[in-house]
Amino acid sequence: MLNVRSCYSISKSIIKIDELAQTCVEHDLSYVSICDDAFFGLPHLIRVAKKNHLKPVFGYRYMRDDGVYSFFAKNKKGYLSLIRFSNENLSLKEILSEKGLITVFCGEKDEYLNIIKEYPNVYYGVDEESDIDQIKKPLFFKTVNMLKTDDFQALDLIKKIGRIDQQKTASPESFENLYETNLKACLKKAYSNIEKIVDEIQEYDLSVDYKIPLLNVEQDENEQLYHLCQEKLVERGLNTEQEYLDRFEYEYSVISQMGFSRYLLLAADIVDTAKELGAWVGPGRGSAVSSLLVFLLGITQADPIKNGLIFERFLSLDRDDEPDIDIDVEDEMRQELLSALRKKYTKERMVNVVTFGTYGQKLVKRELSKHFNVDQNQLIQEKYQNLISKIIGLPHHVSTHAAGLIFSEKDLRNMIPLRALTDDSFMTQYDMNALKECGLFKMDILGLITLSTLKKTGVSFESLDIQDEKVYQSIKSDNLCGIFQLDSKTGRRLTEVFTPFNFDEIRILISINRPGPSQSGLTEELINRRNGTKKVEYYHPLVKEILSKTWGVPVYQEQIMEMSMKLAGFSPKQANELRKAMAKKDHSIMSKLKSDFIDGSYANDMEKDAAEELFEMMAEFAGYAFNKAHATAYGLITYWTAFTKFHNPFRFYKTMIDSSHGKYIKLYDIINEARKNGIEILAPDINISDSETKEEEGALRLGFNLVKDLNPSAITKIISERQRDKYNSVEDFILRMDQSVLSDFILKRLLEAHLFDDLADKWSLEDMKRIRDKNAKTLEKIGAKLFGEAINNEANKNKQPTRDNQNQNRATYLQEEIQSYGFVVNMEKTFGIKYDPFYHSEINVGLITNELKANRYEVNNGIDYSVMSPSVRLKQGDTIIFFKHRNESHYRGFLNGKDAEMVMKQNHLSELEKTISKRKESIKRAGIKKIRILTKKYSMEVLL
């Protein structure tokens, strides 16, 4: 079968290439063939064919109004011509004349007879019903898009999901059914032509003649790299230190011999281009941070020698895999950078990399649930499970890799299949693994939100003092909002028991803040040793220096490499192989290397039993060890955010708030922490606020942008009208505003967001609508009068406005704020305290918003609702102390804002005493001065 559509003809087939190859083996075929709308599946086809000892046969479908042309590459030359054709670099006439291709036409018979007058070697695709009179080169070419007949339901479903018009597609046919069909006599020749075509096809690979672009072609790339890095060495004053000179010469020798000079020069040009545009670039990422030359070029900002990084983690002469340089740039300028680079390198020599979204478990279940109109819980039945298994893993859609780009010296349209992404950009049809097989280098340019945030604060990387002790002291579990890599639940838990004292410890902290180390016991072991609750032990004197800064526990991948090189005499290549094998738990490679390790260690006077024990320890931790070079660069960003926050807190919190619109939990967290740190946060106000947050006399005034669903045009009109004169009342505001802005919804939102709280009058929503509508009618009456006419308020002067309940309860106030902002802004008005001192602990402060039924209440902690059934009687508006377990809340006491006290039973205080004690100062700053303890007989006060 030649006309087999694979699953890479997305939504048109459910044939997975691995399963297709297995089917071909079972049917004793010598080949495996696919014929798709794109080249997506070709690399996979070649890999699978090789694995199963089959000949790969690839066809590309090209649709026109007069019919469908399917082109099969006979050899490498034909394949490259087919790529050029698919990239619109060859015409149809040229491709039909290409001797390295076999062409099959499917369409009207008369059209085919016209084609073969000029191109006699073109085959005519037929099926059982075709008329083949006058056809000299018939080919049985019925479309196959499922392996078995009972796959029809799965195929039908993905076509519906993909919105494929089934009336315009051929009736589905299975591989199994066609193979078993007894073909009519007239089709025997058409069927035998399949084998004839397969025999003509030669196997080929996808490698291409590829080079990374070099802007200055007049000078050899190695010379360019050497002289440029040498200049930077002198500029930095490092040319007088022998250690740097030796490292420089060693790295240059390896990089130039390995042919990677162009790669470094390209990365340097990308970073230079970003800086020329004014974009902020990160201090680096990944193993590239361990290279001195990469550092000298300005691609990374961490001195690898001062930071104890080994070059072999990046590259060595005996390494088979190429180096990897990834670049972080502020996310808000990434597209501008890509546009500038595309102008410099042209869109044909700089392309994005494709990636495939696949059907996962959740997506399949959701689609099946909709299709069969059943609850997802019913999908456990066998009939559904069989269907799910057929769909899971199929490509669902095509998108661009988040960061990957290919740069080339020559036009990529002649090397790999592309597809248009936009009018001025292309995307590859091969994913990053296939591109690597082709010999192409991917360069990752990633957008990092933290860099945009830092840029807005104005604190540059160059201004950092890495020795600032006060900054390290500020990195605490209750002060991590906006701190890169630590602003998370796990980061807070970890920082509570591991407060970093220096940059080395920041690197360690972000390295162990991952599930692997925590679940493996590495984190607990390291912290116990660091905090002195467990003895620090080294497995051999030779590894003490390597493990001294991590208390004898291997935290970094580089430590695994260093131990194997120093103790067992491993080459850099062996050390890297060991690192990868241990990380992937590849026991076959580990077994071989273990023997080499023990023998090498024994030669260094280490007993074999001890060497084996050390190897097992390394294997245990290596799977969770982190890249030290990456930890160094990202640790610098962690410190950068902490430094900025400590030295410029107002700007930091303002930027954090403005960059978190719509992220309600995050905003609540930021604002709560800012208040805890002594920064006054003022609620949005109709007469004061701007669109964004602004500094106001030692405080931060929140902007209108925080109000949900308040559109930019309304905000602009509110501010522009206010610039003439402040609004002196709600009525004044309504009368002066453009009537088109004041919809019922906007009026309701402005009122419930409490933007008018500081104005003299307190109107209800209905009264506000009445004023608006009356004003609109009056304006309509005076229409074209030149100077207009004042609204006659005399008729209403004796009518008092209907004011909203001036003693509006706090529960209603809270609910309005939740509705308007997504979280509570006016903490003091709702809870009676300046901020929540218990946030990020097991304790919550909440407000009873509703009694659902007898002794069952709804409670809100300022951001979300839960329910509780306490043992005491409560009422709406009570402020309570509680903790949450799953979806249920448990009452532990109440908060009396008037008397600035917490009230709780003795047993509840004992339960929460550890948290209260730890946060004592924070509780006092929030406005709570004492705890009233209730016993069976007495009531005691404890001053905080």
Residue 685 one-letter amino acid? D
Question: Are 365 and 388 spatial neighbours (Cβ–Cβ below 8 Å)?
Answer: yes
pLDDT-based confidence at residue 12 (cuts at 50, 70, 90):
very high
569: tokens are 């005499």
Grouping H, G, I as helix, E, B as strand and the rest as coil, residue 164 is coil
Residue 916 has pLDDT above 80, yes or no: yes
Query: pLDDT for 230-239, tens place per residue?
Result: 999 999 999 9
Cβ neighbours of residue 793 closer than 8 Å, sequence gap 6 or more: none
Maximum Cα–Cα distance for the chain, whole Å? 110
Query: pLDDT for 465-485, tens place per residue?
Result: 999 999 999 999 999 999 999
Look at residue 785 in the predicted model and tell me its pLDDT: 41
Grouping H, G, I as helix, E, B as strand and the rest as coil, residue 119 is coil
Q: How far apart are CA 464 and CA 302, in angstroms?
A: 13
Q: How far apart are CA 192 and CA 138, in angstroms?
A: 9
Average pLDDT over residues 783-795: 38
Question: Are 693 and 707 spatial neighbours (Cβ–Cβ below 8 Å)?
Answer: no
Q: How far apart are CA 78 and CA 711, in angstroms?
A: 57
The CB density around residue 786, as the number of other CB atoms within 10 Å, is 4
Least Cα distance to 434 among 401, 411, 410, 402 occurs for 401
Look at residue 856 in the predicted model and tell me its pLDDT: 93
Q: Provide the strand spans (E) within 23-100.
A: 31-36, 55-64, 67-73
Look at residue 169 in the predicted model and tell me its pLDDT: 60
Query: pLDDT for 39-58, tens place per residue?
Result: 999 999 999 999 999 999 99
74: tokens are 């006979």
What average pLDDT is seen over the chain?
A: 91
Burial of 110 (0-12, 13-18, 19+ CB in 10 A): exposed
Query: pLDDT for 580-610, tens place per residue?
Result: 899 888 888 999 899 999 999 999 888 999 9
Look at residue 761 in the predicted model and tell me its pLDDT: 85
Tell me which DSSP letter residue 886 carries.
Answer: T
pTM (2 decimals)?
Answer: 0.90
369: tokens are 């649930």
- In angstroms, the Cα distances linking 66 to 107, 110, 424, 684, 792 are 7, 10, 30, 65, 76
Look at residue 68 in the predicted model and tell me its pLDDT: 95
Residue 414 has pLDDT above 80, yes or no: yes
Look at residue 703 in the predicted model and tell me its pLDDT: 97
pLDDT-based confidence at residue 793 (cuts at 50, 70, 90):
very low
Grouping H, G, I as helix, E, B as strand and the rest as coil, residue 402 is strand
Residue 168 has pLDDT above 80, yes or no: no
Residue 886 has pLDDT above 80, yes or no: no
Cβ neighbours of residue 597 closer than 8 Å, sequence gap 6 or more: 564, 567, 568, 570, 578, 611, 615
Q: How far apart are CA 401 and CA 431, in angstroms?
A: 8
Nearest 10 degrees: CA dihedral of 514, 519, 520, 524?
80
654: tokens are 């303002």
Q: Provide the strand spans (E) within 65-169.
A: 67-73, 101-107, 123-126, 138-140
Grouping H, G, I as helix, E, B as strand and the rest as coil, residue 763 is strand
Look at residue 578 in the predicted model and tell me its pLDDT: 92
Average pLDDT over residues 922-933: 94
Grouping H, G, I as helix, E, B as strand and the rest as coil, residue 368 is helix
Question: Are 202 and 229 spatial neighbours (Cβ–Cβ below 8 Å)?
Answer: no
Look at residue 935 in the predicted model and tell me its pLDDT: 86
Q: How far apart are CA 418 and CA 483, in angstroms?
A: 40
Parallel, antiparallel or unpaired: strands 865-868 and 844-853:
unpaired
Q: How far apart are CA 651 and CA 375, in angstroms?
A: 50
Look at residue 409 in the predicted model and tell me its pLDDT: 96
Look at residue 304 in the predicted model and tell me its pLDDT: 98
The CB density around residue 308, as the number of other CB atoms within 10 Å, is 17
Greater model confidence, 672 or 763:
672
Look at residue 806 in the predicted model and tell me its pLDDT: 34
Residue 788 has pLDDT above 80, yes or no: no
Look at residue 223 in the predicted model and tell me its pLDDT: 96
Look at residue 181 in the predicted model and tell me its pLDDT: 63
Average pLDDT over residues 800-815: 63
Residue in the block written with tokens 């340097």: 268
* Positive or negative: CA dihedral 228, 232, 234, 239: negative
Grouping H, G, I as helix, E, B as strand and the rest as coil, residue 84 is helix
pLDDT-based confidence at residue 374 (cuts at 50, 70, 90):
confident
The CB density around residue 297, as the number of other CB atoms within 10 Å, is 21
Query: pLDDT for 290-310, tens place per residue?
Result: 999 999 999 999 999 999 999
Candidate from 148-152, 393-397, 796-800, 865-869 with smallest mean pLDDT? 796-800
397: tokens are 């859609």
Average pLDDT over residues 78-87: 97
Cβ neighbours of residue 509 closer than 8 Å, sequence gap 6 or more: 486, 494, 495, 498, 500, 635, 638
Query: pLDDT for 521-543, tens place per residue?
Result: 889 999 999 999 999 998 888 88
Residue 730 has pLDDT above 80, yes or no: yes
Look at residue 781 in the predicted model and tell me its pLDDT: 55
Q: 926 — alpha (psi -120 to 50), left (phi > 0) or beta?
A: alpha
Residue 319 has pLDDT above 90, yes or no: no
Look at residue 939 in the predicted model and tell me its pLDDT: 85
- In angstroms, the Cα distances linking 597 to 540, 574, 590, 811 are 14, 10, 10, 68
Least Cα distance to 215 among 181, 182, 262 occurs for 262
Candidate from 60-74, 446-460, 924-938 with smallest mean pLDDT? 924-938
The percentage of the chain sitting over the pLDDT mark of 70, rounded to a whole number, equals 95
pLDDT-based confidence at residue 434 (cuts at 50, 70, 90):
very high
pLDDT-based confidence at residue 787 (cuts at 50, 70, 90):
very low
852: tokens are 């659902």
Residue 798 has pLDDT above 60, yes or no: no
Grouping H, G, I as helix, E, B as strand and the rest as coil, residue 623 is coil
Residue 222 has pLDDT above 50, yes or no: yes
State phi, psi for 471 to the nearest 5 degrees: -65, -45
pLDDT-based confidence at residue 167 (cuts at 50, 70, 90):
low
Q: How far apart are CA 394 and CA 927, in angstroms?
A: 58
Q: How far apart are CA 40 and CA 417, in angstroms?
A: 9
Cβ-count burial 67-88 (b if 16+ within 10 Å, e if not) = ebbbbbbbbbebbbbbbbbbbe
Burial of 816 (0-12, 13-18, 19+ CB in 10 A): middle
Tell me which DSSP letter residue 491 carries.
Answer: H
424: tokens are 């001025």
392: tokens are 């899971």
Q: How far apart are CA 875 and CA 858, in angstroms?
A: 10
Residue 561 one-letter amino acid? M
Parallel, antiparallel or unpaired: strands 350-358 and 138-140:
unpaired
Tell me which DSSP letter residue 540 carries.
Answer: S
Average pLDDT over residues 17-26: 96
Q: Which helix (H) or strand (E) holds 494?
A: helix 489-497
Burial of 500 (0-12, 13-18, 19+ CB in 10 A): buried
